[in-house]
Amino acid sequence: MVGPEVVVEHGEPQGAGGADRNGAADPLRNGAHGEVAGVTETTDVIEEATALDRAQRAGEAAAAAAVAAGEPPPSAAADVDLTAAAFFDVDNTMMVGASIFHFARGLAARKFFTTSDLAGFAWQQLKFRIGGREDKNGIAGHRDTALSFVAGRPVDEVVSLGEEIYDELMADRIWAGTRALAQMHLDAGQRVWLVTATPVELALIIARRLGLTGALGTVAESVDGHYTGRLVGEILHGPAKAHAVRALAATEGLDLRRCTAYSDSVNDVPMLSAVGTAVAVNPDSELRDVAKDRGWQIRDFRSGRKVARIGVPSVLGAGALAGAVAAGVAYRRR
């Protein structure tokens, strides 16, 4: 694992679950669902409403997949907390770098595509990480190319490759500090899920290897054990993650005010705002600013940062471009 130290900047958490802490209304919680009342149906409005609907479908699909793949909920025992849970982003939060890029490297080593393709994919990942907010046309193009790559492939093949590649390229890239935070929640009797744009099959492998409860990830449609080349909804990114967390909470009986979420990216502010305690881990500059403004805790496990140390338990408090095989291995072998 990476980084034995736990270092942190600390601000008092604030806000309650289920709503934006700055009071902004969630458009999907007020009956929008693809309609904008009292607004002329311009192309931009329709596109925005459709995107929101896809994000909600992606979140609901991710929650359904997590429930189907996860372990049965623990029995009500004295040391089990059934209404509190923790949600962790993966890329640069739980794992150094992008999990889907590590997966793509493994596929390239197996001649699924060329090294020049991998370099192109790496460049797009870099633009995604630096730019933060991708344009919707870019996402759609990467998604469509990626889905053409997996169309017709067996799901079992992807899972088997994911197991191998995790051992080869991911196991040693887990942030020890973030892993310790997850274990803290488990030790407190809480369930812990990963929430990531990475394909749910790969996300579940990572969760299982780390001893976590399960994972919410991008869901690709499959029929008779083979990918169709279509997504269920959209990539699990941005607002879709918040929808997934809310849908899972409703199914599992969680009180989001008692839950905690962790991420490195400003794109995950919707998810962080949906729970009682939000923690920025290895944050990008924009998320760091948001966290300071809202009083969220900041934990940084990267070396060389001048941050204060505090004990791990304090975080219990109240409580993309990815989608690769699902929608992110963006280049087919020529």
**Rounded distance, CA 314 to CA 92, Å?**
22
In the chain, the amino acid numbered 40 is T
Asked about 20 being catalytic, the answer comes back as: no
pLDDT < 70 regions, the chain: 1-52, 70-78, 113-149, 304-334
pLDDT of residue 290: 97
Distances (CA, A) of 25 to 20, 21, 32, 177, 296: 7, 10, 11, 34, 20
Please list the residues that pair with 263 across neighbouring strands: 280
- Active-site residue (options: 26, 81, 91, 117): 91
pLDDT tens digits for 286-300?
999 999 999 999 999
pLDDT of residue 333: 33
CA dihedral for 288, 291, 295, 296, sign (positive or negative): negative
Contact assessment for residue 278 and residue 13, using Cβ atoms and an 8 Å cutoff: yes
pLDDT of residue 230: 85
pLDDT of residue 53: 83
Distances (CA, A) of 157 to 69, 183, 203, 255, 322: 17, 30, 15, 37, 19
pLDDT of residue 112: 72
pLDDT of residue 121: 60
Helix (H) or strand (E) holding 193: strand 191-199
pLDDT of residue 117: 63
Identify the structural domains of the chain with CATH numbers, from first to last.
8-327 (3.40.50.1000)
pLDDT of residue 81: 92
- Active-site residue (options: 26, 89, 117, 284): 89
pLDDT tens digits for 28-83?
333 333 333 333 334 343 344 455 588 888 878 888 888 888 665 554 445 889 99
